[in-house]
Structure 1
Amino acid sequence: MTLPCLTLARRFDVRLHRPFWMADQAVGWIRASDVPLLARWPDVFALDHARVTLQPGFDTVERRSAALGSVIGALAAEGRIVGWRDETYAIRNTFEAPPIAYIERAASRFFGTMTYAVHLNGIVECAACAPQMWIARRSESKATDPGMLDNVVAGGIGWGLDARATLIKECWEEAGIAAELAALAQPGRTLHVLQALPEGTQAEQIFVYDLALPEDFTPRNQDGEVAEHRLARLEELLRWIGEGTMTVDASLATLDCLLRHRWIEPQPGLEIAPLFKPPVLPAE
């Protein structure tokens, strides 16, 4: 069995990308077709056939951030970087590592740097019916995946927040879930996505959580980023995943939940955990 989300989450051709290096570390992937855009900043980037390197003279977090910031601003003004968020992301290869630099969230996919996100499976269990799950439909105005189905709560982790703090914040903003209830969420697997997208490369680590929601609870969006919520049966979830009407990230988080709770049986092609480690960035 092969589902679209499993294929798309691994849709990445190393040959079409160049590793992005800074501070003696490979920190991202830049599309080979985008590399010429950076040639006008020779004082910022060293370019060759094998990689893009931030010039070594930018030897502190502040200097690296400032150098990237000037380039990102110019590329955004030209429409090369879209979906400006006014959110700061840290460039770091693992979630626990100290930042190498800071960038605007919208630029993370242009440079293919590792990002981190939380996804919540909002589960409703009752004695008289099979388990169900609340699903959100993303607003048509979203910069990424507009109008697609998503987990009831999902959001990127900005600099200065950990996964659980982000989850609690996003629970209220996206679904009106109070902090006291959100704090009861239980962790699932940590998944990895590396896929080529129109705006660049999504290299993302997803922290999955499950939350049992009361039968009488109805999600209510607070920030305008969700168009509607649906309480879905298992067969509906599987159909949406199979049709590709649910985002890749949400499909993976939902499958993780269904497999962990054994609401669907494991079978070849549905092994979630081992398959989502991204390719190792090349060593020096």
Structure 2
Amino acid sequence: MSTRFDTYLQVISHADKFPHEFDPKNPDEVHHTIPFRLHPHIVGRVLPSTLPPLIEYNDAQMPKPFEVVEGEYISFASWVDTFDKRTQVMENLLQTWREKGTFKVLKGWRNEIFPVYGDASRSDNVAFVIERAGTPLFGISQFGAHLNCYVREPDGSIKIWVGRRSRTKQTWPGLLDNCVAGGITYQATTKDTIVKECDEEASIPSEISKQARNVGAVSYFTYTEHGLVPETQYSFDLELPRDFVPTPRDGEVECFYLWPIEKVRETLLNNEWKPNCALVTIDFLMRHSVITADTEPDYIDLTYRLHRKLEFPTPHKQVAARAPFVVTSTCQQQ
């Protein structure tokens, strides 16, 4: 039986567990990560246990694609100076490790390409792209989109649609999940990701899913047996019609439950949720005044911990120019 939590702060700490401060005396290797640098930026972090295979690979290449200063940092060699070169270097490395079975995480190869930010010379700030399965090996900051689906009862109360992850999934099998969620691949938008995942995971048609509203984001830094996982999840809310029932389609979700708030709270504290999805759900409960400043003693700390400031570069979005606005006033001019 998994550990039960006493507070929502413990639920968040279960996900956001990468050290906020490094302790050089702590033997755990998460306290001794090596920065992956690109010019002035840190674009990732590497565990000490990942270095020997990286050095072995690097020494076998001519010219060497990486500069490795043990105990200090790794970076691309000076000749790896463009988006295409960086992308190709990372692909060659991960494909070699995959063929040799160097890291178990690469058995979960997804053919999904994630952007890595940090090249300000490009309008999108993308320095290179990388296969999703390889991101934990380099502590690459990932971005996803999660959807809270809910219905409002005639008495004004809220019920939340909760997914049960397939028990055959490679990651977090059988745990509870947000209704819809997915990683944001290269050149995909957050809204496109939500609409796509709504169709694939829950059979929610686009005329409904397009009504989902982006309501914020949560950020955290965790780690698993496969490596380091700093993540930011864009949060979306969607009020579904009371007569609509999400239906699993692609096999990633086993079933959906429509639960009252108290059942959701109970399962959060019972540690029944995928850790990052628990954070998105706590954020939903705070925004809908289920968890309030007058009823939750850790309210401010919850707010801080749901929005961890990560050290990595972030996306730059191109937005359309806003139309000029007109001001209407009932005040008399002085």
Q: Same fold (TM over 0.5)?
A: yes
Which residue does the alignment assign to 1:133? 160
From 287, 298, 304, the equivalent of 1:274 is 304
What amino acid sits opposite 1:25 in the alignment?
Answer: H
Asked if 1:12 corresponds to 2:10, the answer is no
Count of residue pairs brought into register by the alignment = 281
Asked if 1:46 corresponds to 2:67, the answer is yes
From 79, 84, 91, the equivalent of 2:109 is 84
d(CA) in 2 for partners of 1:16, 1:122: 40
Which residue does the alignment assign to 1:156? 183
Which residue does the alignment assign to 1:250? 277
d(CA) in 2 for partners of 1:75, 1:23: 26
Shift of 1:196: 1.4
d(CA) in 2 for partners of 1:281, 1:256: 23
Asked if 1:72 corresponds to 2:94, the answer is yes
Which structure features the higher share of strand residues?
A: 1
Which residue does the alignment assign to 2:268? 241
Q: After superposing the two structures, state which structure 1 stretch, 2-11 or 117-126, moved more.
A: 2-11
Which residue does the alignment assign to 1:167? 194
From 18, 42, 55, the equivalent of 1:26 is 42
Deviations 1:58-115 (A, max 9, x none): 0111111111111111222315133110111111159x84210111011111111111
Shift of 1:16: 2.8
Are the counterparts in 2 of residues 93 and 114 from structure 1 also a CA contact under 8 Å? no
| Cα separation, partners in 2 of 1:184 and 1:10, compared to 1, 3 Å | same
Which residue does the alignment assign to 2:216? 189
d(CA) in 1 for partners of 2:215, 2:299: 16
The alignment yields a C-alpha RMSD, in angstroms, of: 2.0
Deviations 1:187-242 (A, max 9, x none): 22211011111111111111001100111111112211111111111111111111
Residues 95-106 of structure 1 aligned to structure 2 (within 5 Å): 97-106=124-133
d(CA) in 2 for partners of 1:243, 1:118: 24
d(CA) in 2 for partners of 1:270, 1:138: 29
3-state SS in 2 of match to 1:34: helix
Are the counterparts in 1 of residues 219 and 309 from structure 2 also a CA contact under 8 Å? yes
Residues 194-273 of structure 1 aligned to structure 2 (within 5 Å): 194-266=221-293, 267-271=296-300, 272-273=302-303
Are the counterparts in 2 of residues 195 and 201 from structure 1 also a CA contact under 8 Å? yes
**Rg (Cα) greater in structure:** 2
* Percent identity (aligned): 28
3-state SS in 2 of match to 1:147: coil
d(CA) in 1 for partners of 2:95, 2:309: 29
d(CA) in 1 for partners of 2:11, 2:52: 31
Are the counterparts in 2 of residues 148 and 245 from structure 1 also a CA contact under 8 Å? yes
Which consecutive unaligned segments of at least 5 residues does structure 1 have? none
d(CA) in 2 for partners of 1:92, 1:2: 32
3-state SS in 2 of match to 1:100: strand
Flag as ranges the 4+ runs of structure 1 deviating above 6 A.
none
